Structure 1
Amino acid sequence: MTVALVALRGVSFAYEEGPVVLDGLDFEVREGRALALLGRNGSGKTTLMRLLSGGLRPRGGRLEAEGQPVSYDRKGLTRLRTTVQLVVQDPDDQLFAASVAQDVSFGPLNLGLSDPEVRARVGEALDALDIGALADRPTHLLSYGQRKRTAIAGAVAMRPRVLILDEPTAGLDPDGQERLLATLDRLRESGTTVVMATHDVDLALRWADDAALLTPAGVHTGPAATTLARTELLREAGLRLPWGVAAARLLDSQGLLADSGTGPRTAEELAAVAATITRAADR
């Protein structure tokens, strides 16, 4: 098995004068696998993501990048942030420059890159997020969806191998969600491994290769289709059964699912199954 791009090994963490949030946690991000991180509020999702990106330092255990322990000095954290980038849920917590291009250029400039290289990275990131036309737009005049894309572009400009997104579809209308998911698919195709924290089990089932469920007993990671079908585990994580899993079970119980291991993950796939059943009944 290949070495994880980034991993937490036996990590424990507690905030000052607070309870333990994570205790002896093992967690890995594998290259090329779209990973959905799910759990109830207060389960430690945000803490886990900040530990992975170096924003928090574990009280016990260690953070590894490509099999090597991460040091928390300036050199070590700079190296980590060329591998891992975190985009927080609220873009207003991440945007601060006067214009879109200036904001996206902040990270590459801090790497000490030349001006031509910075400009190339900014243009590449803006194009990847489909906001090239907004390069000179003041950030305070952006819509919420545009601010989300700008925050993600700032991370993409660092050319990370792992992009971690905290609730990236929250606050977006359906069209905005679809456009963002299409963008994430393009980033994955270009070689970026994406981790998404979400409460939306239906989105996780549709989008992710793997799902990680945070429960009081620890984290459970596996293929999304099977992990999100574990009713007791979902209950422990404070989550409901995805509708796609429920629909697949109903169809399978009636002998209407051609492949019992594969059920509909989107409304379009369910409609296709229904159309196939209707055609068969009409023959």
Structure 2
Amino acid sequence: MTPDPVLELRRASFSYPDGPQVFDGVSLAVPEGRTTALLGRNGGGKSTLLRLLNGGLRPTAGELRLLGDLVTYHRKGLTRLRGAVQLVTQDPDDQLFAASVEQDVSFGPLNLGLAPDAVRERVEEALAALDITALRDRPTHLLSFGQRKRAAIAGAVAMRPRVLILDEPTAGLDPHGEELLLDILARLRATGTTVVMATHDVDLAWRWADDVAILTPTGLRTGAASALLADRSLLDAARLRRPWGMAVTDALRARDLLPPHATGPRTAEELDHWSTTHGAT
């Protein structure tokens, strides 16, 4: 049974000033405690949709609800929303501005008006969660790209959001950096954080997400990752390719090497392990 949505966009439309309509009547429910991948081609509206979810943009029609309550776009309503929903943009340099990592991560909790002890607790927790405690005194401009990504995420985590929204978080990372980030997101999810990630990487969505939301020129389709990423016509409409892991799983089933309802390998490493376990070559 799918959990109730913690965040829900209902029948939302949006246009930029003097620009074409980006969305017309789009709805997206984010189930609490699950991972959701937002997929679509570059320029297809993923970043715009994320900003509608965190209140950075206001729909021209429709509504946004947090824990079932209507979000209002005055100061009190937006403060409540952004205390529960944090967005990390694709480029960490858009968010990092303080002299050191610790100062940057502490900015949000300080703005909440928390006592110094509470701020320190949140900063320590966020630095540890992102595995950057050793970088706390490092100037942000001296960090590597992957370190800057983690520092930006730590700043959001320090707010203890119910929902963490990430815009293309693995873009620009090498394979080791991507694996480290996915491990961190798994730990955050284990502590109760709902994570939404925009990406155009179908292989990443296949291995990581419980649910997917796929943008096409005609709208948005949402559902379980295992079902929607198997829909070839939907992937074609979104200009996305078929996940590698799904192709391997189908090939194994076609050769009676994998039972119909068994979970297939999602990565090359899992395929190697599966081959060793089952004596396949």
Counterpart position of 1:27: 28
Alignment of 1:124-273 (within 5 A): 124-273=125-274
Counterpart amino acid of 1:39?
G
TM-fit CA distance, 1:93? 0.6
Alignment of 1:26-175 (within 5 A): 26-175=27-176
Structure 1, unaligned stretches of length 5 or more? none
Counterpart amino acid of 1:73?
H
SS in 1 for 2:215: strand
State the alpha-carbon separation in 1 of the partners of residues 135 and 274 from structure 2. Answer: 41
State the alpha-carbon separation in 2 of the partners of residues 200 and 247 from structure 1. Answer: 17
TM-fit CA distance, 1:262? 2.3
- Calculate percent identity across the aligned residue pairs: 65
Query: 1:217-265: CA deviations, max 9, x gaps?
Result: 2111111122111100001111000011111111111111134452221
State the alpha-carbon separation in 2 of the partners of residues 98 and 169 from structure 1. Answer: 24
SS in 2 for 1:5: strand
State the alpha-carbon separation in 1 of the partners of residues 105 and 230 from structure 2. Answer: 39
Query: 1:126-154: CA deviations, max 9, x gaps?
Result: 11101011111111111111100000000
TM-fit CA distance, 1:37? 0.6
State the alpha-carbon separation in 2 of the partners of residues 95 and 151 from structure 1. Answer: 6
SS in 1 for 2:279: helix
Query: 1:7-49: CA deviations, max 9, x gaps?
Result: 1111000001111101101101111111111001222110100
TM-fit CA distance, 1:109? 1.1
State the alpha-carbon separation in 2 of the partners of residues 248 and 226 from structure 1. Answer: 14
The answer to whether the 8 Å contact 1:11/1:60 transfers is: yes
| TM-score, normalised by the number of residues in structure 2 | 0.96
State the alpha-carbon separation in 1 of the partners of residues 166 and 127 from structure 2. Answer: 17
SS in 1 for 2:37: strand
State the alpha-carbon separation in 2 of the partners of residues 42 and 140 from structure 1. Answer: 29
Counterpart amino acid of 1:234?
L
Query: 1:147-203: CA deviations, max 9, x gaps?
Result: 000000000000001000011111111111111110000000011011111111111
The answer to whether the 8 Å contact 1:248/1:264 transfers is: yes
State the alpha-carbon separation in 1 of the partners of residues 3 and 230 from structure 2. Answer: 27
SS in 2 for 1:147: helix
| TM-score, normalised by the number of residues in structure 1 | 0.96
The answer to whether the 8 Å contact 1:104/1:154 transfers is: yes
SS in 2 for 1:86: strand
Counterpart amino acid of 1:31?
E
SS in 2 for 1:165: strand
State the alpha-carbon separation in 1 of the partners of residues 56 and 9 from structure 2. Answer: 13
Counterpart amino acid of 1:161?
R
State the alpha-carbon separation in 2 of the partners of residues 58 and 170 from structure 1. Answer: 27
Counterpart amino acid of 2:27?
D
Counterpart position of 2:17: 16
State the alpha-carbon separation in 1 of the partners of residues 43 and 28 from structure 2. Answer: 18
The answer to whether the 8 Å contact 1:54/1:80 transfers is: yes
The answer to whether the 8 Å contact 1:252/1:260 transfers is: no
Counterpart amino acid of 2:205?
A
Structure 2, unaligned stretches of length 5 or more? none
Worse-matched range after superposition: 261-270 or 79-88: 261-270
